[in-house]
Amino acid sequence: MMNHTRSVNPVLFQAFEWHTPSTPPTPHEKFSDSSHWARIKRLLPGLAPLGITAIWLPPGCKANDPCGNGYDCYDLWDLGEFDQKWARSTKWGSREELDAIIQSAKELGIDCIWDAVLNHKTAGDATEVCWAVEVDPDNRCKDTCTPKQIESWLQYDFPGRDRAGMPYSTMKWRAEHFNGTDWDERSKKGAIYKIVDGPVSSNPLSRIAGKIKRDLLGKPGKDWADDVSNIHGNHDYLLFCNIYHKNPEVRQDLLKWGQWMVKDVGVKGFRLDAVQHFSYNFSREWVQHVQRSGPVFIVGEVWTHLTWRILEWLDKVGPTASAYDAPLLCNFSRIGEDVRNGSPNADLRTILRDCLVTVRPDQAVTVVTNHDTQIGQTSFTPMYTPLKPLWYAFILLRKDGYPCVFWGDLYGTQGPHAEPPSCIKGEKKLIPELLRARQLFAHGPQTDYIDDAACIGWTRNDPEKGCAVVLSIAPEDETSTKKMKIGTSGEMWMDLLGDREVCIDNNGEAEFPVSGRQVAVFVKKQELSPLEFDLNCGI
């Protein structure tokens, strides 16, 4: 895997949640104190000392409407710079505010990772007539009608950018640039429509001759991408106007955009949205293209509990890309729900079962929650809140994986299912404490003690910057201990998150205690300055 950051123990911070509020500049302004871009800029100086080395920014391209989060992408080349779709700025802020974030982050040694939506577009500027077939939603390889003409919003003229002379890219998108859509304006019907080549003639023999000619030229008729996930028969189509990556104009425009984002805008990496829904071969081509100019971090979103499906994408794209370890997150959820429900199946020994970080430790981005798994979202995954500190300790203090901290766990979430910040223990804010522990003490070879259903531990054995970590899912009124070898006889070790101390015995071992449903992080006894982190600073 490529070096995605300069830090020994890097940390990625997801700098948004699904319901993050933002009041961007008005069309006649370039800055607003209430935009999310402005908020992030205020927070950066407080995040850097915690060891945050990169921030994952939301997809700040022009969306379907001014409140769109960006996954409803309209124009990749408009980062809040052109007056189109009823606003100049995006929901997140203006291009000028984005530039200010990237510059401030650079000065603080923090990389900006951009959320790139390369699978689809939405909110075309005009309709266009094309040929299409409806497909079975449960089997997209199965046509449910003969080819027919539909009228869909497939014409993208980008009038705001057009008035400015079409800077950055002159491409205007038409029906030939898509292979799927979800709406027929003529019939006012929503469905999954696969856009196909129109018949060359009403004569059946002529149509057959046309197909033979296309095949001989190596130009088969338009279809779904054949190198995608096989869920629903073929998972190329996700939503909106599905981009046809075999089209040469499409390929060149998307490749050029990626290079522009790195060289001109200044991002240091990309989170690729929904990569199981577009050509794996194009993903490889795109990744190789943007990495030609230097180290560019790439993480693909293949959201599944099946590690082999993630490996399919990684093996195709190559070793310079990463993927989220969704199976590990699912294990956190499974164990947490067993604890919540009092199930005897709760077993910490299964925490690494079938995980990406186990088989590809250098390509796994480890997460506890994100904007898609938070409550109310499409991939909602229940996460028992009292155990979140255990899971954050697991991703932050072990040697494998690239951990990602979620905005909602540090600052809380908004919306209909709003939640306060998680991982609070009395006066201690545990995520900042664990981040500091990762910086200072998560060093050296690792020894695992994953040998008990209710209590596990591990050590990091650097002589000066090591730690001993213990996790327990036992009842809250129970104290468990884990005998682990670390340190030197006679040394006193203290729990960073509590007030317990232990003494290393003559064998270089100690019984490290932890209360039920808690985590303890022991380090060599020393004076540490109080950690000051204001959850409301800059919000």
- Active-site residue list: 273, 301
One DSSP character per residue, 130-160 reads EEEEEEETTEEEEESS--EEEEEEEEB--HH
Tokens of residue 143, six digits: 């046509």
- CB atoms under 10 Å from CB of 411, counted, come to 21
How far is residue 361's CA from residue 73's CA, in Å, rounded to a whole number? 32
Q: Which two tokens stand for residue 401?
A: 């994986």
Taking the alpha carbons of 400, 406, 411, 413 in that order, is the dihedral positive or negative? negative
Question: What are the tokens at 86?
Answer: 């009823």
**Three-class secondary structure assignment of 468-512:** EEEEECCCCCCEEEEEEECCCCCCEEEECCCCCEEECCCCCEEEE
Closest listed residue to residue 55, CA positions, set 114, 118, 117: 114
Evaluate whether 454 touches 474 at the Cβ level (below 8 Å).
yes
CA dihedral 468, 473, 477, 481 (to 10 degrees): -30
What is the dihedral angle through the alpha carbons of 310, 311, 316, 318, rounded to the nearest 10 degrees?
110
With vertex at residue 333, the alpha carbon angle to CA 327 and CA 339, rounded to the nearest 5 degrees, is 140
* Tokens 């961007």 found at: 24
Q: Is 522 exposed, middle or buried (0-12, 13-18, 19+ CB in 10 A)?
A: buried
